[in-house]
Amino acid sequence: SCEDTGTSIVFKPDLGIFTHITEFEFEQIDTRLKETSFLNAGLKIEITDNRSEDPHVSTHHYEGGLSEYVTQINSGREILHAEVIHITGEKEIEKGDVSVELALQWSNAFSESIRCYTNIIRNKDGGTHMSGLRTALTSCLNSYAKKRNMLKGDALSGDDVREGLAAIVSVKHPDPSFSSQTKDKLVSSEVTGIVQTVVYEKLGDFFEENPSVAKTIIEKALLASKARKAAQKARELTRRKGVLEGGGLPGKLADCQSRDPSECEVYLVEGDSAGGSAKTGRDRRIQAILPLRGKILNVERQKHNLVKVFQNQEIQTMIRALGAGVGNNPEDEGSFDTSKLRYSKIIIMTDADIDGAHIRTLMLTFLWRFMRPAILEGHVYIAQPPLFQLSKGRVSRYAFSDEERDSIMEDLKGDNPNAKIGVQRYKGLGEMNPEQLWTTTMDPENRTMLRVTVKDAEESDRMFEILMGEDVPDRRAFIERYAKEVTNLDI
């Protein structure tokens, strides 16, 4: 029968080469196969994980292809036009045909989400297809807006026209060139012109046929332009006051003695009380302490009011202490530059309660929105203060989880199940004296820290929008969806 035909391929990684592989991550493989299904409209892919008694099966089948891919990226966002703009084109070169396929849709988001592929391989650093798309978008929108007298001042910038854009660019090339063996960036020079021509012509045609959609997209870009200029004024205002310059350090910063950034670290500490203990208990040679009072501003809700962001006292203090500028656009003067960081480690240290978690999230939101390279390049850490101190006589031990507390308690009881064990639950860093704080949380030889890493920048961006933004229904839906998976609840 037909069910008995076909080809079966079995492979295993060569552990002599892939030495870091201990087991396969289902989610990572599933995500890759999902992308492949999106990039090949109509292709059905099924993955089964048989490693447990209850096999995990995931099936991907998308007739809409790239358009459906963009729709998924924009799920939860307020889209500006219902129809996904689908563009295809082809051009013959010496080695064969180069085909181009794109899907584009704008939403009310403040960032762009563009994913690039060559021969179904993700190019996470973009490349010449990305350059062609960006140039075409800027030219096309400016040309359309100018012809209809929609521009009242300067031309729209590339950042303006791409704000809120979700796009997939897929190029099929007979002999592509990449910047490295990992194929993270396409460098085939001819692709720039091919993508640029296809997008400019086809998008222009779409705008002519759908003027209301074009008007909505350009109005979004004009708002982005207005916000960008306001942000530049806000940055210039704060720069004049010395806030964005590293020369004048904030008075509350207890700096370290070393001037070698590679060995220096700064603790962003919740509260003056804990900051005092940290200042006393630290290694003054390499550890700086910056106490922050209360909850900093939620910058996710102030994207179009950067004057308020830069006027916030705690945010000003962080900018000055780190000394590396602010802003994620490298083309802007004074934008964040990791090479200027005064510390190689930025360590967020907050109380081990719900308020501490909230303050930590607010700090991460600020760093993601205004100092993103610090996170992407691995400079940001989360301190892990203990949750419990267990005492028996003169013996004291610390636990960092409920499970560790129970294990230590059994260990301290030994052969006497009725032994009295004192248990102190730390709610705040200020409850520990300087020596305890150093021993448990700050001593490089003994401490535990979590490095903040990013697997998918676009998904992280979306999470900040949902969890820290102003859209309450989306946040409620997210909480309801994942509430059953919560294992650590502080109420």
Q: Which residues are catalytic?
A: 270, 351, 353, 355
Q: Does residue 379 share a domain with residue 404? A: no
Q: Does residue 362 share a domain with residue 267? A: yes
Could you tell me which of 81, 72, 77, 173 has the C-alpha nearest to residue 121? 173
Cβ pair 348, 268 in contact under 8 A: yes
Mode of pairing for the β-strands spanning 345-349 and 265-270: parallel
Q: Does residue 108 share a domain with residue 39? A: no
Q: Does residue 46 share a domain with residue 156? A: no
Whole-number pLDDT of residue 246: 47
Confirm whether 427 is domain-assigned. no
Taking only the tens of pLDDT, the chain with its 491 residues reads: 456 777 888 888 888 888 777 788 898 899 999 999 999 999 999 999 998 888 999 999 999 999 999 999 998 788 999 999 999 999 999 999 999 999 999 998 888 999 999 999 999 999 999 999 999 999 999 999 999 999 988 899 999 999 999 999 999 999 999 999 999 999 999 999 999 999 999 999 999 999 999 999 999 999 989 888 877 777 676 665 555 454 567 878 999 999 999 999 999 998 777 778 899 999 999 999 999 887 789 998 887 777 788 888 899 899 999 999 888 877 677 789 999 999 999 999 998 778 888 999 999 999 999 999 999 999 999 999 998 999 998 888 999 888 999 999 999 988 888 889 999 988 788 888 899 999 999 999 989 899 999 987 778 888 888 888 887 887 888 888 777 766 666 65
Whole-number pLDDT of residue 185: 96
Q: Helix, strand or coil for residue 489?
A: coil
Confirm whether 434 is domain-assigned. no
Q: Does residue 160 share a domain with residue 33? A: no
Q: Does residue 313 share a domain with residue 408? A: no
Confirm whether 443 is domain-assigned. no
Confirm whether 483 is domain-assigned. no
Confirm whether 358 is domain-assigned. yes
CA distances from 13 to 23, 30, 121, 391 (A): 10, 17, 19, 49
Whole-number pLDDT of residue 229: 82
Radius of gyration for the chain, computed over Cα atoms and rounded to the nearest angstrom? 27
Whole-number pLDDT of residue 177: 96
Q: Does residue 284 share a domain with residue 369? A: yes
| Full residue range of the structural domain in which residue 153 is found | 68-231
Q: How far apart are CA 261 and CA 275, in angstroms?
A: 21
Whole-number pLDDT of residue 16: 83
Cβ pair 25, 56 in contact under 8 A: no
The number of folded domains in the chain is 4
Q: Does residue 156 share a domain with residue 264? A: no
Q: Does residue 340 share a domain with residue 255? A: yes
Q: Does residue 95 share a domain with residue 207? A: yes
Cβ pair 50, 57 in contact under 8 A: no
Confirm whether 345 is domain-assigned. yes
Q: Does residue 350 share a domain with residue 221? A: no
Q: Any alpha helices (H) in 312-468, and if so which ranges? A: 313-322, 354-370, 372-376, 402-413, 434-437, 457-468
Q: Does residue 99 share a domain with residue 57? A: no
Q: CATH number for the domain including 274?
A: 3.40.50.670
